[in-house]
Amino acid sequence: MARKKKEANLDLAPSKKEKMGPGQIVVLICLAIFTVFCFAPVVLVFVSAFTDEMYIVQHGFSFFPQKWSMAGMNAVLKYGKQLFTSYAVTIFVTVTGTLLGLLIMSMYAYAMSRKDFRLSKFLAIFLLIPMLFNGGQLSGYIIFTSVYHLKDNLLLLILPLCVTTMNVIILRTYIVNSIPGELMEAAKIDGAGEYRTFFQITLPLLKPSLAAVGFMMATAYWNDWQNAMLYIDTNSKKPLQLLLINIQKSIQFLLNNTNVPASARAAMGGTIPQNSATMATVIVVIGPIMIAYPFFQKYFIKGLTVGSVKG
Amino acid sequence: MKDFLRNTWKHRAHVVLALPAFLVLFFIMYVPMTGLILAFKRFDSRLGIYGSPFCGLDNFKFLIASKAQFINFTSNTILYYVIFTVIGTFLNVALAIAIDQCIFKKTTKVMQTLMIIPVFISYAAVQFIVYAFISKDTGMINNLLGTNTSFYMNASYWTVILTITKIWKDTGYGSVLYMSVLAGIDTELYEAAEIDGANRWKKIWHITLPSLIPMITVMLLLSVGSIMKSDTGLFYQVTRDTGVLYDTTQVIDSFVLHSILKNSNFGFTAATSFFQSVVGLLLMLGANALVKKIEPENALF
């Protein structure tokens, strides 16, 4: 008995020492059901993208179609230039926005965390007010388009998501709690200027927190359909999400587009596998995040935890 | 004052560091606040936002004139807030406890990874997934039940459809926060309880749940501040902005987005926007004051 207890103490999770019992089985089954509920729709997207279009029309969407086909995927790949343009726009906006946001937010967070800096109180309040009060969608739309004249400008996809109060708070909390102040003092004594201290000492140490915030930002940029829908008109600036929203129009447009080789159009025989092509486009749009997510999972879970505890 | 200036000069490097984010906040968040005066103006796109003539409270008269619509989307906003918060909090906590209690750690880890995935799918994509389940002719639900229901034509189903979609998308992710609290519970508490003869349910009831209460309280109170805001994508994309469904699906945010895109009814929309922002501010201040009383550490300011 005594030995058993000692072993139990080594375990972090209190429940680990519990024995297998009917209770455990029930919990596991419930969790499994919920996992299926969450993940099955994602599977359905993948299955439908490779289902024969006629099969979907006749029998509906199914997890176990009798007839498979590559037609949907082919149609998407034959979008040709527009798909690549949209990919390029989305990647450009995501990368630029995330890097820019991380840089300027950590700079702000660092300045805010300096103790004897009198303005830091003001910076904190300035950061907090937008969380309490904002102009709303309509004012934003009118100011951005008729005062800044930025309609159809990629800046409107980048800047609105660039600095968010919550992210700055997460970064600041991390600087205050996890980076020893002595380190920065030491750097200063060794003759490093303020900028050098920040870029060479603080920023590298901030990495775990940057990874967490960065991943959350990147998904926000990648998934942003609203700003694109409001502000972007030109085809050459359309991000993936907008392509997806206008998919019915898009498929028609893309296939009638001169960018699509005539041979490809002929190969499709004039019919568009609407349902499976739509699902194939969904895969193309959500794919990169699905692939990146497992690598960042531990960071963003940590980031979420840190953010919830205001330091 | 002199001290303050000297301090600022001494920290000029910090001022420079804070400047870029400051400017972004200023131009993206602060300047649009001035756009709220639109609620008191007759907007004329040629004259611009500041040049348009004031019209007193005319826009709010619009609001009263079409109060059926105003009441509809405001009450929908609040209704969905209540449904999502009650069901969401319950499921988040239940899921966190279930994962924490389960002894098959490796399996639960994989399960958790799969459960979180939906949160990363944009609503622009989610609408097609929902469509695959509920479309009239090809939808899975109609196929399985052998029915022929037109979900996109019938408003009464949508409270349930939107709730299920929301649960599907956010529950896995929402439970992470509570799990982090559970991981922090002192193991000795459980051991002591065991020695006192407590069974599993008693331990959950007397140790696990009470330790989650502060976090639940804080999250609930803070969410009160955003009652007036909704997940626009859920209400705009998933419903495909279908007019027939507005009775049960239109919320303030999706209404405003719709009017901007359709370029319609700016006076009414501006008044609604103003209402949304002001009520949001009041709720936020109230929520923060409450948190401050109960759990001062977690107050926003």
Contact B117 A39 (CB under 8 A): yes
Task: Answer whether residue B171 is part of any domain.
Answer: yes
Q: Amino acid identity, residue A73? A: M
Q: Which residues of B touch A42 (CB under 8 A)?
A: 117-118, 121, 129
Residue B46's pLDDT band, with cuts at 50, 70 and 90, is confident
Query: Searching chain A, which residue's CA lies closest to the CA of residue B19?
Result: A108
Going from N- to C-terminal start, the domains of chain A cover 22-69, 79-308
pLDDT above 80 (res B68): yes
The pTM (predicted TM-score) of the whole model is: 0.89
Interface test with A, best of B7, B27, B28, B106 (most A CBs within 10 A): B28
Mean pLDDT of chain A: 84
Range of the domain at B18: 13-51
Asked if residue A241 lies in contact with residue A286, where contact means CB atoms within 8 angstroms, the answer is no
Task: Answer whether residue B217 is part of any domain.
Answer: yes
Task: Render pLDDT for A257-275 as a digit per residue (tens, 0 to 9).
Answer: 655 555 555 555 456 678 8
Q: Same structural domain for residues B250 and B203?
A: yes
What is residue B216's three-state secondary structure? Answer: helix
Q: Same structural domain for residues B44 and B80?
A: no
Q: In whole angstroms, how far apart are CA B194 and each of A10, A175, A232, B104, B203?
A: 17, 40, 62, 21, 8
CA–CA gap between residue B136 and residue B154 (Å, rounded): 11
In this structure, what is the dihedral angle of CA atoms B109, B110, B115, B121, given to the nearest 10 degrees?
120
Task: Answer whether residue B2 is part of any domain.
Answer: no
Task: Render pLDDT for B91-145 as a digit per residue (tens, 0 to 9).
Answer: 999 999 999 888 888 999 999 999 999 999 999 999 999 999 999 889 999 999 9
Asked if residue A276 lies in contact with residue B103, where contact means CB atoms within 8 angstroms, the answer is no
* Cβ-Cβ contacts under 8 Å for A5 (sequence gap 6 or more): B191
Q: What pLDDT, on a 0 to 100 scale, did the predictor assign at position A173?
A: 87
Asked if residue A214 lies in contact with residue A147, where contact means CB atoms within 8 angstroms, the answer is no
Query: Searching chain B, which residue's CA lies closest to the CA of residue A275?
Result: B132
In this structure, what is the dihedral angle of CA atoms B92, B95, B101, B102, given to the nearest 10 degrees?
-150
DSSP string covering chain A, please? Answer: -HHHHHHHHH-SSGGGGSPP-HHHHHHHHHHHHHHHHHHHHHHHHHHHHTB-HHHHHHH-S-SS-S-B-SHHHHHHHTTTHHHHHHHHHHHHHHHHHHHHHHHHHHHHHHHHH-TT-TTHHHHHHHHHHHHH---HHHHHHHIIIIIS--TT-THHHHGGGT--HHHHHHHHHHHHHHS-HHHHHHHHHTT--HHHIIIIIIHHHTHHHHHHHHHHHHHHHHH--HHHHHH---GGG--HHHHHHTHHHHHHHHHHSTTS-HHHHHHHTT---HHHHHHHHHHHHHHHHHHHHHHHHHHHHHHHHHHHS--
The residue with tokens 């009239």 is B136
Task: Answer whether residue B56 is part of any domain.
Answer: no
Which token pair is B145?
A: 């039940």
pLDDT above 50 (res A12): no
ipTM score assigned to the predicted complex: 0.90
Query: Searching chain B, which residue's CA lies closest to the CA of residue A310?
Result: B298
Q: Same structural domain for residues B77 and B21?
A: no
Contact A310 B297 (CB under 8 A): yes
Question: B256 and chain A: CB distance < 8 Å anywhere?
Answer: yes
Task: Answer whether residue B61 is part of any domain.
Answer: no
CA–CA gap between residue A123 and residue A107 (Å, rounded): 12
CA–CA gap between residue B27 and residue B21 (Å, rounded): 10
CATH assignment of A79-308?
A: 1.10.3720.10
Q: Which residues of B touch A130 (CB under 8 A)?
A: 25, 29-30
Q: Same structural domain for residues B85 and B42?
A: no
Asked if residue A275 lies in contact with residue B138, where contact means CB atoms within 8 angstroms, the answer is yes
Task: Render pLDDT for B161-188 as a digit per residue (tens, 0 to 9).
Answer: 999 999 999 999 999 888 888 888 888 8
Q: What pLDDT, on a 0 to 100 scale, did the predictor assign at position A272?
A: 66
Task: Answer whether residue B209 is part of any domain.
Answer: yes
Query: Does an H or E element contain B113, and which?
Result: helix B105-116
Q: Which of A3-7, A245-249, B93-97 has the highest mean pLDDT?
A: B93-97
Interface test with A, best of B36, B41, B122 (most A CBs within 10 A): B122
Task: Answer whether residue B60 is part of any domain.
Answer: no
Give residues 185 to 224 of B whose Cβ lies within 8 Å of A. Answer: 185, 187, 190-191, 200, 215
Total number of domains constituting chain B:
2
Task: Say what percent of chain A tops pLDDT 90.
Answer: 50
